Amino acid sequence: MSGSKSQLRILVVDDEELVRDFLKEALIRRSYDVDIAEDGKKAKIILQENTYDLVLTDLKMPGISGLELLRYIKAHHPDTQVIMITAYGTIENAVEAMRLGAFDYVTKPFTSGEIDLVVEKAIEHRRLVDENRYLRNELSSKYCFSSIVGQSKVMHEVFEIMRVVAPNHSTVLIEGESGTGKELVARAIHYNSPRKNKPFIKINCAALPEGLIESELFGHEKGAYTHAFSRSRGKFEQANGGTILFDEIGEMAPGLQAKLLRVLQEREFERIGGNETIQVDVRVLATTNRNLQEEVEKNRFRPDLYYRLNVITIQLPPMIRRREDIPLLAQHFLSRYCEEYNKNLSGISDEALEYLTRADWPGNVRELANRIERAVVLCRNELIDVKDMQSGDRSQLNSIEEYPQIPGTSLRDFEKWLILKTLSSQKYNRTKTAKLLNISIRTLRNKIKEYRDADGEEIQ
């Protein structure tokens, strides 16, 4: 639907000539394209040949009533908004019409100002519906299976599992190193499932705020604690009917694991400070860069929660196990970033592709994408060459060769040196530091606390 009023089409249906003329004149004055029909039968004939953004129809008409016409419109033109016109004594019927799908109703007598207001609201609602549909189609296109690049045998196996599990409601655990595309797979599963038009809610388990974790997940009632000035819906309620993704679930605190287990088993919970049991219909997906089986054996992850999550497992391979996909991925990212930065590059040289294919890529697909983006930005020729790829090989950190290579140096000391050096290079910004080191903020925080407690060092 176009946003221009001159292109918005409205059909007025009323058996009273004075009402029809009044409405037509009022709407034309607002630059709408208006047709009229004197009864429901004539309106149905017009609707069989034309499409309208909005229909204003009288409720009580001889022959085909407004309610019958409403049912016909919703069956054959579901996107068309309908406003009912009713006399004061038939408001109950107007309420029934809204239950059947009418947008609103106006009662006779009405002014042109009242008509302007209700029509503007209906048109705006139609615009939002169209915009929402467009955005959902864009998301579905972005997260279709074909948007995940890969032709290697291991990726074909991943695609096959995704196609099988997407249409059902089973819980899926997605395992893989950082940067392998776990969230992309989770979103693809959601947007290729019957829940695609419902919410997709992501929860970063490593970043859940201490002390507010339960409120974040389950919500709270007004007055449940200080500053709880109103009722708040948690992530589970927000995701009702859709999908909830627990990103890096291996980082979740043990106490919260027990509460999550109950929700997964019973699909119900209570808000903090409330007694009402809330039931939800939510599909659960989870990602982890840890081996949860090992975490269970080390008593760092609840076994019952692990078995509840581990219904279907998708294992994403690291780049070193899918090297044959690297040229394909490189071309994919080249197209993306050429478009983003408005650059017209002819491609990547054979030498550069060979360089990319031989590299180890500890940061996996994410690191490859970053390298291609950097090369696109820095390339001064038409063809990306090895030197464009090599720029940035040395990170913002200085080379690890600067660390004194003293025989007998412990791994802990080297780890400490690397973390502190990264913190310093990032001006003690912990979020950027954790990202560079490919660890979670919680892990970084624990390491800093360990150094402070053991060595007495003051670390920002």
- Which domains are present in the chain? 5-138 (3.40.50.2300), 143-315 (3.40.50.300), 319-390 (1.10.8.60), 400-455 (1.10.10.60)
Q: Is 61 helix (H, G, I), strand (E, B) or coil?
A: coil
Identify the pLDDT of residue 134.
Answer: 64
Q: Is 144 helix (H, G, I), strand (E, B) or coil?
A: coil
Which residue do the tokens 């996107």 mark? 79
Strand-pair category, 277-279 with 268-270: antiparallel
List pLDDT tens digits, range 187-229.
999 989 999 889 999 998 877 765 677 788 888 888 777 777 7
**For the chain, which ranges sit under pLDDT 50?**
1-6, 394-401, 403
Identify the pLDDT of residue 267.
Answer: 85
Identify the pLDDT of residue 7.
Answer: 67
List pLDDT tens digits, range 247-283.
999 988 887 888 888 888 888 888 888 888 889 999 9
Determine the Cα–Cα distance for residues 122 and 81; give it in Å rounded to an integer. Answer: 7
Using CB atoms within 10 A of its CB, is residue 255 exposed (0-12), middle (13-18) or buried (19+)? exposed
157-177: b (≥16 Cβ within 10 Å) or e? ebbebbeebbeeeeebbbbbb
Q: Is 84 helix (H, G, I), strand (E, B) or coil?
A: strand
Pick the closest to residue 368 from 336, 415, 401, 400 (CA basis): 336
Q: Is 85 helix (H, G, I), strand (E, B) or coil?
A: strand
Length of the chain, in residues: 460
* Single-letter amino acid, residue 238: Q
Q: How far is CA 353 from CA 237, 319, 347, 356, 362, in A?
A: 47, 14, 10, 5, 17
Identify the pLDDT of residue 3.
Answer: 44
Number of Cβ atoms within 10 Å of the Cβ of 213: 18
The DSSP symbol for 341 reads T
Determine the Cα–Cα distance for residues 408 and 405; give it in Å rounded to an integer. Answer: 9
Strand-pair category, 104-107 with 81-86: parallel
Identify the pLDDT of residue 187.
Answer: 92
Using CB atoms within 10 A of its CB, is residue 448 exposed (0-12), middle (13-18) or buried (19+)? buried
Identify the pLDDT of residue 400.
Answer: 42
| Preceding peptide of 362 cis, ω within 30° | no
Determine the Cα–Cα distance for residues 410 and 441; give it in Å rounded to an integer. Answer: 24
DSSP codes joined into one string, 153-179: HHHHHHHHHHHHHTTS---EEEE--TT
DSSP codes joined into one string, 359-382: S--TTHHHHHHHHHHHHHHH--SS
Cα atoms found within 13 Å of the Cα of residue 207, Cβ hemisphere only: 10
Q: Is 445 helix (H, G, I), strand (E, B) or coil?
A: helix
* Residue 227 Ramachandran class (φ > 0 left, ψ -120 to 50 alpha, else beta): left
Q: Are 263 and 296 in contact (CB under 8 A)?
A: no
Pick the closest to residue 259 from 298, 194, 305 (CA basis): 305
Rg (CA), the chain: 30
Cite the beta strand spans of 69-217 per DSSP E: 81-86, 104-107, 172-175, 200-204
Q: Are 14 and 58 in contact (CB under 8 A)?
A: yes
Identify the pLDDT of residue 404.
Answer: 52
Identify the pLDDT of residue 398.
Answer: 43
First CA to last CA distance, the chain: 54
Which residue do the tokens 């982890």 mark? 288
Task: Kindly state the helix (H) or strand (E) to which residue 422 belongs, with its residue range.
Answer: helix 411-425
Number of Cβ atoms within 10 Å of the Cβ of 407: 4
Q: Are 216 and 269 in contact (CB under 8 A)?
A: no
Determine the Cα–Cα distance for residues 335 and 333; give it in Å rounded to an integer. Answer: 5
Q: Is 403 helix (H, G, I), strand (E, B) or coil?
A: coil
Identify the pLDDT of residue 46.
Answer: 94
Identify the pLDDT of residue 456.
Answer: 53
Q: Are 3 and 127 in contact (CB under 8 A)?
A: yes
Identify the pLDDT of residue 396.
Answer: 42
Determine the Cα–Cα distance for residues 300 and 254; give it in Å rounded to an integer. Answer: 7
Identify the pLDDT of residue 147.
Answer: 66
